[in-house]
Each structure stands twice: as C-alpha cells, then as structure tokens.
Amino acid sequence: MQDTVQINDRFTIAKFAPEADQVRQAAQEGFKSLINMQTDDEDKKLKMKPQEEGETAREAGLTFLHHPVDGEKLSEDLVDDFRRKATDLPAPVLVHCASGKRSGAFVMMHIGCEQGLTGDEVIRKAEEMGFECDTPELEDFVKSYVNSHNGK
C-alpha cells in the first residue's frame, strides 16, 4: 500500500484517510486491525464516516477501532487509552488519521515508552521515518509524555 510507513512488525502508519477499496486492500495485504484516529468534526477531510469505515473494515475481516484525537486537545489519558487498546488488537495494525501526524505521534510515543527511549530519541526516530511534529506544542507533548512514561 502506497504512502504508508511500517514502524515495526506490529504497526504501520497510513499518511491518508483510506477509501473503502483501500480498507479492503489493507485486509488483503495481511493487516488484521485498523485504527481510525480522525474526529467526527473532520467531515471535510473524511473519505468515509468512522461508522462506515468500521463497517467496511469488519466486512473485510479487520478488527476496527475508532480512537478520535483532536490535535488541539492532546492529553496523557488519550495516549494511555490508545496504548491499552492498540496493544490488545490483532496485529499487524494499520493506523491512520488525515495525514499521519497524529497517528504517527501516538504510535511513536507507544513504541518509545515500550523501548525505554527518551523524548528526544523518539522525535529523532520519527523524523528518520519521515514524520515531523508540525507544531512546537506537538513536539513538546511527545517529548514530555515519553519522558514521563519511559519504560512503562
């Protein structure tokens, strides 16, 4: 699948919101789960409503999780909840938002914490993989979260 970044054996980030045929393609390519991180307020950017995407995913044999994240309202609880839920999903997992920034940040925070990395190391790894924190606030949040949850 084009415009995706495989983070590890468990997680791949899609830098786009998939259409129905791309959801089915993900299942054909071996993904077992799909996480949609778009909010319902992103109507203009949504190719499918989360409910419709979930139905398409389930019909294709994927486990579906809608974990909406507003980039302006990040919280440790949102990341903690994402980490708990994502860990329980069958792998491999395809994660998306509208552009890959939120989904990339959340997956990288999860992996960084599991691997005992520092916030700076997570930012560096993310940049090497083609992700950028587009605002200083997002970068600060990622660093702070990872530094305070390191090894957990």
- The CATH class that applies to domain 4-149 reads alpha beta
Contact 104, 123 (CB under 8 A): no
Angle between helices 76-88 and 136-149 (to 10 degrees): 60
Model confidence pLDDT, tens digit, residues 65-87: 999 999 889 999 999 999 999 99
Model confidence pLDDT, tens digit, residues 86-137: 999 999 999 999 889 999 999 999 999 999 999 999 999 999 998 887 788 9
Contact 141, 112 (CB under 8 A): no
**H-type alpha helices, the chain:** 20-28, 50-59, 76-88, 101-115, 119-128, 136-149
pTM: 0.94
Residue in 136, 103, 81, 88 with CA at minimum distance from that of residue 35? 103
Domain boundaries defined on the chain = 4-149
